[in-house]
């Protein structure tokens, strides 16, 4: 479908969703809805192995959700569509990578946290300033403790302070920080590490990771043991294992 506020590009197994509202790529309700619609579309596209999300221009990934959408009659709808986006990021069933080209604040930072991985320009700043407006960031309150631990999550959410890309890398909010001049090339190289793999295997492994996050160790190990046998007996897995033994590149079924 055609989108107004985002761009959707597909190339060599990577689908890139670009928030196309420069310079700050402020998120409003229609934009959030478009992002979830794009993710739903990509779920059923077997040609796409990885989904990348970024912002238009070089100033901001996204400076957050429009303040006006937090007020009055818009508030319930904004909360609904914003939270739906995080469910859509999981349901897309493909690895998601935030390409943080500039500031990522408020809802923008939460989207970074909601992606599976993130690459950031060294000039990026990330943070949750909501507390300074008398509110708190709901998705961040769920995601941050799982990513960076209790103490740092308390500090960032309760202070509202922003952090550098390097600090975000140190605490696990982003995977890699690169010089601004090398950001585009480095982002492409990072995503290509995953597109070389079987799309089906990426989906299966990702599902296991999300499931195991919510189980205790013994439950997770038992669940993984049950589905590992099924997965490894599949046609795609047999091809990968056979290719290794035969010293050739695998020809993935998907």
Which residues participate in catalysis according to the annotation? 110, 130
Angle at the Cα of 222 (from 217 to 224), degrees rounded to 5?
95
The whole-angstrom separation of Cα 157 and Cα 140 is 8
How far, in whole angstroms, is CA 44 from its chain's centroid? 18
| Contact of 139 with 86, CB cutoff 8 Å | yes
| Contact of 33 with 69, CB cutoff 8 Å | no
What's the N-to-C CA distance of the chain in angstroms? 24
DSSP-derived secondary structure for 198-223:
-HHHHHHHHHHHHHHHTS-HHHHHHH
CA dihedral 79, 129, 23, 167 (to 10 degrees): -120
The whole-angstrom separation of Cα 197 and Cα 249 is 11
- Within 10 angstroms of residue 109's Cβ, the number of other Cβ atoms is 34
> How are beta strands 14-19 and 6-11 bridged, if at all?
antiparallel
- Within 10 angstroms of residue 50's Cβ, the number of other Cβ atoms is 25
């Amino acid at each position: 479908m055609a989108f107004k506020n985002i761009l959707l590009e597909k190339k060599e197994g990577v689908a890139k969703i670009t928030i196309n509202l420069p310079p700050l790529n402020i998120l409003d309700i229609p934009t959030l809805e478009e992002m979830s619609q794009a993710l739903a579309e990509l779920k059923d596209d077997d040609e796409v192995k990885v989904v990348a999300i970024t912002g238009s221009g070089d100033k901001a990934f996204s400076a957050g959700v429009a303040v006006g959408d937090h007020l009055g009659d818009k508030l319930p709808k904004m909360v609904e569509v914003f939270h739906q986006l995080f469910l859509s990021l999981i349901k897309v069933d493909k690895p998601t990578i935030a390409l943080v080209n500039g500031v990522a604040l408020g809802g923008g930072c939460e989207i970074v946290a909601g992606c599976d991985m993130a690459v950031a320009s060294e000039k990026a700043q990330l943070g949750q300033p909501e507390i300074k407006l008398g509110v708190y960031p709901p998705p961040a309150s769920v995601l941050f403790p799982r990513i960076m631990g209790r103490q740092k999550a308390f500090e960032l959410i309760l202070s509202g302070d922003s952090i550098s890309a390097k600090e975000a890398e140190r605490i696990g909010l982003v995977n890699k920080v690169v010089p601004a001049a090398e950001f585009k090339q480095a982002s492409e190289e990072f995503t290509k590490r995953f597109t070389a793999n079987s799309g089906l295997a990426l989906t299966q492994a990702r599902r296991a990771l999300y499931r195991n996050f919510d189980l205790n160790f013994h439950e997770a190990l038992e669940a993984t043991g049950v589905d590992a046998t099924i997965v490894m007996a599949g046609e795609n897995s047999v091809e990968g294992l056979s290719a290794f033994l035969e010293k050739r590149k695998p020809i993935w079924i998907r």
